[in-house]
Structure 1
């Protein structure tokens, strides 16, 4: 069986949770208080991820799609597990949709959508075919590189003299209403709630004793990073542009200019996005094929990689006719209709049932 180290898990959790937020403004509905909204989401995210980790400890050695049949029984638990598996593939398609929205409008305006999307899904398919150990090693390799780029961008923003702290004031000028609107349900489901998917790879971690600490530290740092992005975006762009822009982080980096020799850093920003998007789609694809393998009791996940990749590519190319429609589905439809159920309601019910069954089994002994 493939194994990954705790540092590799840390890298995958960070890449997964940051995801496409390096381009799309997280909690932009909160306006200038978006960074505060992200911090609140992070605290809630730490709590729900702790529950996911406790669920793993109550179902040791089992992945997410095995929890429900183990606790609810085959007839009730298996359909629920299939819901998660299908959701993994659907959200993988949304990453392709994000790519379709960004690349033609920024770096490669004349390149057909299918070209960039096909390249990404083929590379991700090869990584998934190779196994979780290869994906973990790639994460371990790229995390220092992406950290350096992120620090460099922050230094360049400060050096460009484009920060206007008055744009952030008053911090709570509109009260808590807009902040809570950004927090619930989108903020707590979009990144941190989706992290329940990472339970598909918990069984492959070498040192289980450090599992909880690794995931929670990665979650905390990811939240702080996203909050910092929003902080700088508002301080540079202002509340109105930040809230209305489709790609506020892209516009932020575009404004960096030091003299006549450091400017036009679009490629750097897109590289950052493509890296995090690649790892997130790898995890979606791996979780999807691993879920199918376990639910169909198949020996290897590899036979499902190409069909699942084709489904993700098809969904990404066809789920929305334009960027506005694509973003609308992710912001207003999915959080209420599916994500709250899959990421909060069902796991909390499962957590309660698992605790009760464990207590009953102890009492019998």
Structure 2
């Protein structure tokens, strides 16, 4: 059975939550809370911690990883039906992440380049990595997440010289409804950590998954809050409202000293890596879930047929820029809420009435080892 380290799990969860959030979250939150968008992340420490505890309880009360734990807690019939639905949800999430990136490239970087070129390049690399198994996915995530975090941190520090702090005022003048919507929108992205219900079982000690999730929560809140704050004090609230991707417009203003500028091309390169990671992990989850739901021997051969499904979905779910915005603001949040938060919450409630599984019997351990050895 393949094992992953705590650091690899952290990188995987960062790739699931951060790259797409950096593109779409600032625009969404500024639309809701205007110049107070950055303040919506303060309560996310609490709401995110609640979500972490939900996942943590499910992991502690389960003997096997998702989607097999659906059978364990909901019964075989409901578990298999839900597992089949989750296969499509993971593929849809993967396709939407890819389409959002394609729209960004078409609007901001290379408007005349056919979408099929971007789709083909990302899916080809993703297919090669998935064929190597979870070990390849984990190693790729280490590289992709590390470079992305370092670059974003350096860029945000370099932007401090462009701050116009007067643009942040007035602070706190926001009605409760809008503030609640902002907190809700910021929390939804953390639902993308839901694959932890599978990945935690590949740690040497699954109890360490809780600490990793809290580290991801801290990283997410800190970076996204500072990014939203930087956009407001650099671009201004109302100019930022007119940008679909205000993060990219902000990064175009970065200058380090008097000699290093035009870092937007570096941002695009890092973003490509981040989107590749986000697509890759959702894709692997779809393949692994398919293996478990249909009791297949391996998941790696599933990468080939799902490549076509993801590519077609990425093209047909949105016909134009407006539909991409509608999916980002309305449809995908509902998907995340139902499948990544509400259903895990219901499973968590069921788990409350079950004993802790602090240690598995030897027979159970052998059964889990047999069920996971094909993942390599």
**TM-score above 0.5:** yes
Match of 2:4 in 1: 4
Deviations 1:80-124 (A, max 9, x none): 222222100001000111121111222222211110111011111
Q: 1:42 offset after TM fit, Å?
A: 4.1
Match of 1:33 in 2: 36
Find the residue that maps to 1:326 and give its secondary structure. Answer: helix
Q: 1:247 offset after TM fit, Å?
A: 0.5
- Between the aligned partners of 1:356 and 1:258, the Cα distance in structure 2 is 57
Q: 1:227 offset after TM fit, Å?
A: 1.1
How many correspondences in the alignment?
Answer: 353
Find the residue that maps to 1:130 and give its secondary structure. Answer: coil
Where in structure 2 are the equivalents of 1:180-195 lying within 5 Å?
A: 180-184=180-184, 186-189=185-188, 191-195=189-193
CA contact (8 A) 2:55 2:196 kept: no
- Between the aligned partners of 2:25 and 2:354, the Cα distance in structure 1 is 42
Q: Structure 2 length as normaliser, TM-score?
A: 0.89
- Between the aligned partners of 2:158 and 2:333, the Cα distance in structure 1 is 35
Where in structure 2 are the equivalents of 1:1-365 lying within 5 Å?
A: 1-26=1-26, 27-28=29-30, 29-60=32-63, 62-158=64-160, 161-184=161-184, 186-189=185-188, 191-257=189-255, 261-336=259-334, 338-358=335-355
CA contact (8 A) 1:5 1:207 kept: no
CA contact (8 A) 1:13 1:219 kept: no
CA contact (8 A) 1:33 1:168 kept: yes
Uncovered stretches (5+) of structure 2, i.e. residues with no partner: 357-376
Q: 1:214 offset after TM fit, Å?
A: 1.4
CA contact (8 A) 1:99 1:117 kept: no
Match of 2:367 in 1: none
Find the residue that maps to 1:75 and give its secondary structure. Answer: helix
Deviations 1:202-251 (A, max 9, x none): 22122324221112112221221111111111111111122331000000
Deviations 1:242-270 (A, max 9, x none): 23310000000012235663222211221
CA contact (8 A) 1:120 1:278 kept: yes
Deviations 1:50-84 (A, max 9, x none): 21121011003x22211221111111222122222
Root-mean-square deviation (Å): 1.8
- Between the aligned partners of 1:138 and 1:14, the Cα distance in structure 2 is 13
CA contact (8 A) 2:11 2:146 kept: no
Find the residue that maps to 2:275 and give its secondary structure. Answer: helix
- Between the aligned partners of 1:134 and 1:79, the Cα distance in structure 2 is 29
Cα distance change of structure 1 residues 76 and 258 upon mapping to structure 2, 3 Å threshold: closer
Cα distance change of structure 1 residues 75 and 211 upon mapping to structure 2, 3 Å threshold: same
- Between the aligned partners of 1:309 and 1:54, the Cα distance in structure 2 is 34
Deviations 1:28-61 (A, max 9, x none): 322111111123234312211221121011003x
- Between the aligned partners of 1:68 and 1:328, the Cα distance in structure 2 is 31
- Between the aligned partners of 1:328 and 1:35, the Cα distance in structure 2 is 22
